Amino acid sequence: MVRADLAKVEEELARQSGSGIEPVAEIARYLQSGGGKRLRPALHLLAAKFAGYEGPAAIRLGAVLELIHAATLMHDDVIDSADTRRGRPSTNLRWGNSMTVLAGDWLYMQSFRIALAERNLRILDVLIGLTQAMVEGELLQLTRLGRADVTEEEALDLSRRKTARLFEVCLELGALLGGLGESEAGRMSRYGLNLGLAFQIVDDLLDFTADPERLGKPVVNDLREGKVTLPLVYALAAGGAEARRRVETVLREKGFVSVRPEEIVALVRESGAAERTRARAGEFAAEASRCLEPFPDSIYKRALEAVPQFVLNRDY
pTM: 0.94
> What pLDDT shows up at residue 216?
63
CB atoms under 10 Å from CB of 157, counted, come to 16
> What pLDDT shows up at residue 316?
77
pLDDT tens for 184-224 read: 999 999 999 999 999 999 999 999 998 776 666 667 999 99
Low-confidence spans in the chain with pLDDT less than 70 = 19, 35, 213-218
Residue ranges and CATH numbers for the domains of the chain are 3-313 (1.10.600.10)
Contact call for residues 205 and 276 (beta carbons, < 8 A): no
> What pLDDT shows up at residue 217?
65
181-188's contacts with Cβ under 8 Å and 24+ in sequence apart are: 184/51, 184/295, 187/291, 187/292, 187/294, 187/295, 188/47, 188/50, 188/51, 188/291
> What pLDDT shows up at residue 309?
96
pLDDT tens for 165-182 read: 999 999 999 999 999 999
Buried b (16+ CB within 10 A) or exposed e, 61-79: bbbbbbbbbbbbbbbbbbb
Cα separation, 301 vs 55, whole angstroms: 19
> What pLDDT shows up at residue 30?
87
> What pLDDT shows up at residue 277?
98
Cα separation, 110 vs 92, whole angstroms: 20
> What pLDDT shows up at residue 259?
96
